[in-house]
Structure 1
Amino acid sequence: MVFQKNTVLSRMVKISNQIKAQYFNKLGCKFEIDELWTYIKQKDNFTWITYVIERETKQVIDFFVGSKSKENIRPLIRKVLLLQPDKIYTDRLNIYPSLIPKSIHKRFQYCTNKIERMNLTLRTHIKRLSRKTICFSKVKSIWKRI
């Protein structure tokens, strides 16, 4: 059986266009936020996938593909704050303290274990996320579909 070079990728894009996003509306949960780096076309062209998970269910609440800036992370934080979180756990990225109220923000060394474990799982199963690989993305829009 012979497949065209882009068969799998075009199928993934087609299927992803039919998937409807699930909305998370449970209030008072605990969330973890982290970033995962990858590159597009060449290793010099870094991009970041910043995402939020609910700590208990590990459900992805929202994500953003792009640079790691306050303007890009702010919409993710706002969405989480609308859910009236009990706690928000992050790494020590200096952007978070200015976006998350101190009363619910936790920044300890091991407080993001669940999302870090998810990052490792994603890197294992999605070769485009692997740090040393011959698989890479040519366009940013693919990350919104995978």
Structure 2
Amino acid sequence: MVAEKDIGVPEIDHQLLLYPVTNHAYDTKSYDENADKFFLTGRGMVWFWNHYLRDDIDGANILASPLRAREETLAELPPVTLYSCGYDPLRDEQFAYADALVDAGVPVEHTHYDDMIHDFANMSQLSEPFQGIEAANDVQERAGRALREAFE
């Protein structure tokens, strides 16, 4: 992996990841479970990937799919605060990424919201009947606290 200093960008001190995309693959149970329901669907992710990448070969690049990076490459990454949710096609790859980071020795704080949909943290201003307002407010507070602590 190319170090940030080698290409003229600042080093990253902390990663705050809200339901991140970590692998160009559609082979997890969560992709099947969320193929065509809720906010972000498995089919929708195929659409996003097809608009993000030039071709499938780019999806194998660890810059697009960090879950495919070797352990020694992951070990160079800064601490991570990661939030995931249950009704998300990306859920299983997020757990796999958190586990891979821990295995590589990267400090990881992973909070999972089992009953939430992808992008729920941006829904705190919605009115009822959205049942995730408390969870959205919680993740926003936790994320802010994680960043304050990371940059103290």
In the superposition, the TM-score normalised over structure 2's length comes to 0.29
In the superposition, the TM-score normalised over structure 1's length comes to 0.29
Q: Which structure has greater strand proportion?
A: 1
Q: Which structure has greater helix proportion?
A: 2
